[in-house]
C-alpha cells in the first residue's frame, strides 16, 4: 500500500461511502469492494455490502430498493474515519 491510498471515509450525496484524500477525487466504494478502516487505532481489512430492508426509507437506495451500506465485519462506517484502499 502506498500513502496515496490513504484518506478518510465520507458519505456521498449518492448514499455511497467514499475514500476522500486532500487534492484528489473521492473514490466511491461499491458493493463487494474491499478497503481498510481504522478500528481501535489500527487499519482492518473489510468489505462493503448493501443490506435491503422493507422498513421506512433512510434516504439510501440500491436499484430503487431501500437499505444501507455496511461493513461485513461489523465495523462502524462513520464520516471522518481513517481508511485506505488496497
Domain residues for 42?
3-84
Q: What sign for the dihedral angle of Cα 52, 85, 42, 81?
A: negative
Report the DSSP pairing between strands 17-20 and 61-62.
unpaired
User: pLDDT tens digits for 23-71?
Assistant: 999 999 999 999 999 999 999 999 999 887 665 555 555 555 567 899 9
User: pLDDT tens digits for 1-19?
Assistant: 444 489 999 999 888 899 9
* CATH number of the domain where residue 10 is located: 2.40.10.390
DSSP state of 74: -
Per the structure, the count of domains in the chain is 1
Amino acid at each position: 500500500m502506498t500513502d496515496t491510498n490513504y484518506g478518510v471515509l465520507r458519505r456521498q450525496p449518492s448514499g455511497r461511502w467514499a475514500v476522500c484524500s486532500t487534492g484528489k477525487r473521492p473514490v466511491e466504494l461499491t458493493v463487494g469492494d474491499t478497503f481498510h478502516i481504522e478500528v481501535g487505532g489500527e487499519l482492518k481489512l473489510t468489505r462493503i455490502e448493501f443490506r435491503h430492508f422493507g422498513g421506512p426509507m433512510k434516504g439510501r437506495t440500491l436499484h430503487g430498493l431501500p437499505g444501507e451500506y455496511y461493513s461485513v465485519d461489523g465495523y462502524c462506517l462513520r464520516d471522518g474515519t481513517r481508511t485506505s484502499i488496497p
